[in-house]
Amino acid sequence: MEVLSWPRLGVILLMILMFTWEGESKLAQNFYGKTCPNVESIVKQAVSTKFSQTFITIPATLRLFFHDCFVEGCDASILIRSPNNDAEKDAPDNLSLAGDGFDTVIKAKQAVEAVCPGIVSCADILAMAARDVVALAGGPSFNVELGRRDGLISLASRVPGNLPQPTFNLAQLNTMFARHNLSQIDMIALSGAHTVGFSHCSRFANRLYSFSASTPVDPSLDPNYAQQLMAACPRNVDPTIAISMDPVTPQTFDNQYYKNLVAGEGLFTSDEVLFTDHNSQPTVNDFAKSPGDFNAAFVNAMVKLGRVRVKTGKHGEIRRDCTTFN
């Protein structure tokens, strides 16, 4: 009988751990097939009910999913409430997240808990809800991979530097998305969610009043669109005022966002740069002409986004209450 030396034994143990980790890390569309088979219909019903109360459910839930995945990974850490106001949701970049997004997930979780207590993670419910709101707004439906666990860390201090800013150029956008294995095409497709988005005036006021010393208005803005924005967002406007990011079909998930970019009607610098930069312009032109190409790219990007730094196996928990660690 061969006696294994410590170095060889160590290598074998490491391989076992690696295979175990890989096995635990796999998401699956039918993850709850035996433990909570009706979870998707339960979530869909809860999301539909919330949508019937306010359209803001759509952009709020989509943005919540994106902000969650880009900080700690898709682990519902964005939902945690802290008595000290130092959780992820309390970071300055997250203070504008609409409460209707949080409420959508919390209501869906309550509905799921009533049928399958302690089985389905808040992270998975957020991923399903993000898919459902896209379909409710007229966008594509798609299958969601499931099996995430809820994260154990939620800190405002970990948010800075992890979310794209409205002033970003193409290189900055690509660098940030590449950290999460998302390509330039994925980034451009995910930006298309702005077709149902809204923004507070402060996020783009620099393009209207202080773009540069010689040119107060960003020259890449269509002049008529700039005048519309100034009328909606005068200087010293109420900071709670928000406007639609797609002025043409603001409540429909479609490819109008890209048509707007071609027309010089991208709200953020980080929107319009997708058209003005020659490296990304061909993709914008394609999506503007072909709703099918955009929908296919968006679905692919959403599936990839949902895989970002997921917690599985022993590396997370199943929260009973999405706003509190167990």
Please give the positions annotated as active site.
67
Contact 163, 93 (CB under 8 A): yes
Pairwise CA distance, residues 55 & 225, whole Å: 24
Residue 96 DSSP SS3: coil
Contact 111, 43 (CB under 8 A): yes
- The CA-atom distances, in angstroms, between 125 and each of 77, 286, 309, 310 are 13, 32, 16, 13
**What kind and span of H or E run contains 244?**
strand 242-244
List residues bridging with 243 in a β-sheet.
199
Please tell me the distance from the alpha carbon of residue 316 to that of residue 320, in angstroms, as a whole number: 13
List, in order, residues 6 or more apart from 43 with CB less than 8 Å away. Answer: 108, 111, 112, 125, 128, 129, 132
Does residue 288 contact residue 261 with C-beta atoms inside 8 Å?
Answer: yes
